[in-house]
Amino acid sequence: MILVLEKGMTQVKKNQLKSVLAANGCMVHEPGGSGQNILGVIGKNSVTREFLMAQEGVVDIVPISTAYKLVSRQMQKEDSIIRIGNVEVGGDRLTIIAGPCAVESRDQAMTIAKEVKKYGATLFRGGAFKPRSSPYSFQGLEEEGLKILAEVRDVTGLRIVTEITSPMHADLMFKYVDVIQIGARNMQNFELLKCAGRMGKPVVLKRGLASTIEEWLMSAEYIAAEGNPNIILCERGIRTFEPYTRNTLDLSAIPVLKQLTHLPVLIDPSHATGIREKVSPMARAAVAAGADGLMIEVHHKPEEALSDGPQSLYPKQFGRLVRDIYVIAPVVGKQLFHDYTGSASPRKRSGEKRDGKGQRAVYLGEVGTFSHKAASQYFGTDMESSPVPSFRDIFEHVKIGEADFGIIPIENSLSGSIHENYDLLLEYELHITGELSLRVVHNLIAHPGTKIEDIKRVLAPPPAFQQCRRFLDANPDMKIVPVNATGSAVKRIAESGILEDAAIGSVEAARIFSMNVLEESIEDNPRNFTRFVVIEREPLAEGVKNKSSIVFSTSNNPGALFEVMKVFSENQINLVKLESRPIHGKPWQYMFYADLEADMMDSQKESVLGDIKKNTEFFRIIGSYNCGSDK
Ligand code: PEP
Ligand code: MN
């Protein structure tokens, strides 16, 4: 059941209550990150409703109606995010686990690991103990396989996922692996589930061959009931009468699970289809349906694989799939894990500290802005990030070392460039080190209980008004009031209590400030994306860099800009954006900002740079980074 606690109850009082409950044999769960004052309690029959209501700070009791408790959405409204090293599974992230069905040799595992890492996997899979249908099939390299996996982790930095088939192997697994997998055949092996629960390592729990979603969640409950909340569900196809595919992939499990549980959901299209050509279409569909990640079998020589060769993708096919996913993800509000964009590397994140504190990112406005969402998608939720009042403040904070990263919107697909940031990029000598594209869905947000006809004023930043032009034209009685960010608009209407005021903003902002979405998706066109860039004091030193942003000015002569363009053309450098901005204090003279598909900081580009400089009066590389779409 859920205990509703009195508003503003201190953590000290909560802890006292938790001790009383524990002393009476209750299992207590405090949902993390929700900011709600509730406790989840699973009690023995002897713990009565009267006893609970009599405890200090308890104002109400809401029963959990499902058979599973700890993993239920009723217990925790927020999505669980499972951390494996610096990889996050769940929330706004898409995580890709890839590797062979089984570890066959050191060479095989290492070759595949390097390939899948190059193409964007952030966790490596491979079986060392294989549960095979036939006792005569390859059973895995056992401990030798685990040692190889550990070596793969040491060499590539990829954390390891492998299957446990018996509680007998718990010590071995504990020693070598990061995430343990419970396979479909063992989903209801309750001793194994309890063992995985006690081990405490993150668990990928596959759905049984013929299990209902409720049975699957009950199995997850077994793990959680042992005190291990780090559970990731993985749908891998169920047995049906259809023989064309190995199993039938139940994609409808994704929205069903999203309603029933807070646990992240992965899709394994490899075991689901059993056929190489069917893997990528189902993987793309899974992402579109809201999966939190994928588990994909990849082999460099699938025709020689000791198990599941016919369903294993070639590394290049896997690379193409990841590129597709990279494009689909923002449409459903997700982002591939940031290591794919190569920018916020683990080295950086655990790198130098500010006055003993962790690294920090700053963004515009208020919690709940799209900039905030971009920051948490890019850096992950364990990076401290905080809002500042203006774009200039972002640059200033990064410049003086108050923050390590700034994240700024640079252009929107409907309303165009954010010119102020172009000017600030020129003024401050900071460096672009990464980029991210975010789908922006605008909503009309107001106080609960108000109707659309009650609204007299709408608060939002000017670009949001431009993106919602049609809605505003259709509602001419609503007066527009510009503010600096969507999150600030929502906060202002929440704090003022004025029922006639509405704000334009994200569903997250509405939730954070306990406001109501009056009208969903009011942007003129659903293809509304904002491109953000990350700025730092130092240029990006390592990782894949396939895009550069430069700024230059030319002489005021005929063909001057053409001469610069000619250098790009002759060197086969693709220009993806060109923007001109007036030079302050020099009327009718312009700075050109260009984005190029090339690493202009690469030493091989020196002669190209020389040619550009010959044709420009001013030239600076603002940054070389990875845009994620070219590997
Ligand atoms: C596997 O992932 O290698 C595997 C055996 O999967 P499943 O348990 O889904 O069959
Ligand atoms: Mn397999």
> Is CATH 3.40.30.10 the classification given to domain 82-332?
no
Pairing status of strand 405-412 against strand 416-417: antiparallel
Q: Which fold has domain 544-625?
A: Alpha-Beta Plaits (3.30.70)
Which ligand 1 atom is the nearest neighbour of the CA of 130?
5
What's 346-440+529-533's CATH class? alpha beta
- Distance, in Å, from the CA atom of 194 to the CA atom of 196, rounded to the nearest integer, reads 5
Q: Tell me if 248 sits within 8 A of 282, measured CB to CB.
A: no
Going from the Cα of 132 to the center of ligand 1, the distance in angstroms, rounded, reads: 9
Q: Would the CB of 236 count as within 6 Å of ligand 1?
A: yes
Q: Would the CB of 184 count as within 6 Å of ligand 1?
A: yes
List pLDDT tens digits, range 145-200.
Answer: 999 999 999 999 999 999 999 999 999 999 999 999 999 999 999 999 999 999 99
For the segment 251-273, the average pLDDT, to the nearest whole number, is 98
What's 2-62's CATH class? alpha beta
The catalytic position among 530, 552, 554, 592 is 530
Q: Would the CB of 100 count as within 6 Å of ligand 1?
A: no
Tell me 617's DSSP state.
S
Instruction: Give the pLDDT band of residue 29 (cuts 50, 70, 90).
Output: confident
List pLDDT tens digits, range 280-319.
Answer: 999 999 999 999 999 999 999 999 999 999 999 999 999 9
Going from the Cα of 605 to the center of ligand 2, the distance in angstroms, rounded, reads: 44
Tell me 238's DSSP state.
B
Which ligand 1 atom is the nearest neighbour of the CA of 307?
3
Closest residue to atom 8 of ligand 1, CA basis: 183
Residue type, 386: S
Q: Return the domain boundaries, the chain.
A: 2-62, 82-332, 346-440+529-533, 443-519, 544-625
Instruction: Give the pLDDT band of residue 346 (cuts 50, 70, 90).
Output: very low
Specify whether 370 is catalytic: no
Q: Would the CB of 397 count as within 6 Å of ligand 1?
A: no
Q: Are 82-332 and 346-440+529-533 in the same CATH fold? A: no
List pLDDT tens digits, range 534-544.
Answer: 999 999 887 77
Specify whether 530 is catalytic: yes
Tell me what the pLDDT averaged over the chain comes to. Answer: 92
Which has the closest alpha carbon to 458: 505, 523, 388? Answer: 505
Provide the H-helix boundaries in 91-187. 106-119, 143-156, 170-176
- What is the per-residue pLDDT for 33? 54
Which ligand 1 atom is the nearest neighbour of the CA of 184?
8
Going from the Cα of 308 to the center of ligand 1, the distance in angstroms, rounded, reads: 10
User: Token pair of 451, please?
Assistant: 């109707």
Overall pTM > 0.95: no
DSSP three-state, residue 233: strand
Q: Would the CB of 271 count as within 6 Å of ligand 1?
A: yes
List pLDDT tens digits, range 400-447.
Answer: 999 999 999 999 998 899 999 999 999 999 999 999 999 999 999 999
User: Token pair of 196, please?
Assistant: 């995985």
> Is CATH 3.40.190.10 the classification given to domain 443-519?
yes
- What is the per-residue pLDDT for 177? 97
For the segment 207-231, the average pLDDT, to the nearest whole number, is 96
Going from the Cα of 185 to the center of ligand 1, the distance in angstroms, rounded, reads: 8
Q: Tell me if 259 sits within 8 A of 269, measured CB to CB.
A: no
